């Protein structure tokens, strides 16, 4: 089975070697053939093309894509991977979905995810865990694991995800694809069900950086429905992809290269640095002194915002509703007890605690102050360098169930990614090789609203290597 990039599909539609309907059917058939093994999709929109597609005069018209089941799409089940929303059908489109729909793209289905985007392994979903296409006994990462697995397995050419602490980049690294987290505010959050509002950002999982550039320029932009969206001009990202990298300076944080990375993964990172040096990129050691506080800071701020955002799920207006309870208070408690999974409950309780009287100043306020220190580290670093680079994860995909009973160990999976969410800067992960036949990724971070430079540097690497084109064995069993 061949995995097609968005760029290739554009060419097929343009030269009439395949119609958009034929392409849609191809992917629909692949999903039905592979989903029992991978569990990447919660729902499949089998009649989306015939019933909802309007051809538009757009370069991505007719291109199908998958949508993480955290984005509302009109008339579709939108569950957030939770029993709480398992019966919810959205009456409207999220802005990013609306933007893409207006360009003639078509939704293949809604992808599986950690419940309410809370998790790093896609094992907290009410609809079951997602399996990594490279090894079905291993995690694809989370929380956008369904989107990552769908793209890696060729079930979708490209997919939307969300990134709150690494939830696009980490699964991209573990499944051997490209994952882009744009600058906070670059894409509207309207219609994207909230986990932690000051951290959540819509992004893209794709085979290549070029594909991410193609989609980002159509889904990004200011939205008056989202007070946090930016009015910064959206460039045509594809125009920057082939810019020369000579003279660009990349910072290597001491905190990312502290000797704790397994030597096999370190070798892949070193090799990728060498590849960039061939393109004229220069490297220098830098320090981000406060980044060591990223994980504890995140796990105060994110649960605090989660406890507030998820207070609306009480069984009264929409979603799961308990039939038990002697009075209103008991009804609320039983609904939330039944509707939420263990990880969501853990974070709600943590968030409620750090926001409570007597603890707000000690925990939440202090975490917000440390967050500003982390942001300042990035601002200072970008006065000296154009990019910051390091591993995306500490390891390749681990086995399902291996860390599910150890939440602290699970939280540490995002140790390299969380800081860019706390500071709001854009970041990308792209594959750089394999260890024990499992993919591994490199993360590159850029200043705010420099996605065009981020996509440029990743694209140039992918033009010189073919790690992003490697496909799992499971793909060979289809078509």
Tens of pLDDT, residues 59-114: 899 999 999 999 999 999 999 999 999 999 999 999 999 999 999 999 999 999 99
The closest alpha carbon to 67, from 21, 128, 108, 127, belongs to 108
Spatial separation of the C-alpha atoms in residues 457 and 257, rounded to whole Å: 21
pLDDT tens per residue across span 156-172: 999 999 999 999 999 99
Average pLDDT over residues 448-469: 98
Per-residue pLDDT at 50: 53
Per-residue pLDDT at 320: 93
Per-residue pLDDT at 216: 98
Q: Does domain 6-242+451-477 have CATH number 3.30.9.10?
A: no
pLDDT tens per residue across span 357-393: 889 999 999 999 999 999 999 999 999 999 999 999 9
Catalytic residues: 68, 143, 167
Q: Taking the CB of residue 51, how many other CB atoms lie within 10 A of it? A: 9
Average pLDDT over residues 454-469: 98
**Segment among 140-149, 194-203, 264-273, 315-324 with least mean pLDDT:** 315-324
Per-residue pLDDT at 350: 96
Average pLDDT over residues 242-246: 97
pLDDT tens per residue across span 305-324: 999 999 999 999 889 998 87
Per-residue pLDDT at 326: 80
Q: How many residues does the chain have?
A: 479
pLDDT at 232 over 60: yes
pLDDT at 245 over 70: yes
Average pLDDT over residues 331-345: 95
Q: Is the Cβ–Cβ distance between 346 and 406 less than 8 Å? A: no
Mean of the per-residue pLDDT values of the chain: 94
pLDDT tens per residue across span 251-290: 999 999 988 899 999 999 999 999 999 999 999 999 999 9
């Amino acid at each position: 089975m061949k995995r097609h990039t968005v760029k290739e599909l554009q060419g097929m539609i343009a030269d009439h070697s395949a119609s958009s309907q034929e392409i849609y059917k191809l992917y629909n058939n692949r999903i039905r053939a592979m989903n029992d093994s991978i569990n990447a999709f919660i729902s499949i929109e089998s009649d989306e093309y015939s019933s909802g597609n309007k051809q538009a005069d757009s370069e991505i018209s007719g291109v199908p894509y998958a949508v993480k089941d955290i984005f509302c799409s009109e008339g579709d089940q939108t569950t957030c991977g939770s029993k709480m929303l398992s019966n919810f059908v959205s009456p409207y489109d999220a802005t990013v979905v609306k933007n893409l729909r207006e360009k003639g793209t078509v939704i293949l289905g809604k992808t599986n995810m950690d419940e309410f985007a809370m998790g790093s392994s896609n094992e907290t979903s009410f609809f079951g865990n997602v399996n990594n296409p490279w090894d079905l006994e291993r995690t694809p990462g989370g929380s956008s694991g369904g989107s990552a697995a769908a793209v890696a397995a060729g079930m979708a050419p490209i997919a939307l995800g969300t990134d709150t602490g690494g939830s696009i980049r980490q699964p991209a690294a573990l499944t051997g694809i490209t994952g882009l987290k744009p600058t906070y505010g670059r894409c509207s959050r309207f219609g994207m069900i909230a986990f932690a509002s000051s951290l959540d950002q819509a992004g893209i999982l794709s085979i290549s950086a070029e594909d991410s550039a193609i989609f980002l320029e159509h889904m990004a932009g200011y939205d008056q429905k989202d007070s946090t969206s930016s009015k910064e001009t959206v460039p045509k990202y594809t125009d920057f992809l082939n810019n020369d990298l000579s003279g660009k300076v990349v910072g290597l944080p001491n905190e990312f290269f502290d000797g704790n990375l397994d030597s096999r993964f370190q070798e892949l990172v070193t090799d990728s640095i060498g590849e960039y040096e061939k393109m004229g990129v220069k490297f220098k050691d830098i320090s981000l002194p406060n980044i060591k506080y990223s994980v504890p800071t995140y796990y105060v701020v994110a649960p605090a915002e989660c406890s507030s955002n998820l207070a609306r799920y009480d069984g009264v207006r929409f979603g799961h509703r308990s039939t038990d309870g002697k009075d209103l208070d008991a009804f609320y408690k039983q609904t939330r007890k039944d509707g939420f999974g263990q990880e969501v409950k853990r974070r709600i309780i943590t968030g409620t605690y750090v926001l409570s009287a007597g603890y707000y100043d000690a925990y939440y306020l202090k975490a917000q102050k440390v967050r500003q220190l982390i942001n300042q580290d990035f601002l200072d670093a970008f006065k000296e360098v154009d990019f910051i680079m390091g591993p995306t994860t500490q390891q390749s995909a681990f086995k399902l169930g291996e860390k599910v009973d150890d939440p602290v160990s699970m939280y540490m999976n995002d140790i390299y990614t969380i800081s860019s969410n706390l500071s709001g800067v854009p970041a990308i992960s792209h594959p750089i090789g394999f260890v024990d036949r499992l993919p591994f990724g490199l993360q590159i971070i850029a200043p705010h609203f420099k996605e065009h430079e981020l996509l440029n540097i990743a694209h140039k690497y992918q033009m010189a290597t073919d790690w992003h084109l490697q496909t799992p064995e499971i793909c060979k069993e289809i078509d």
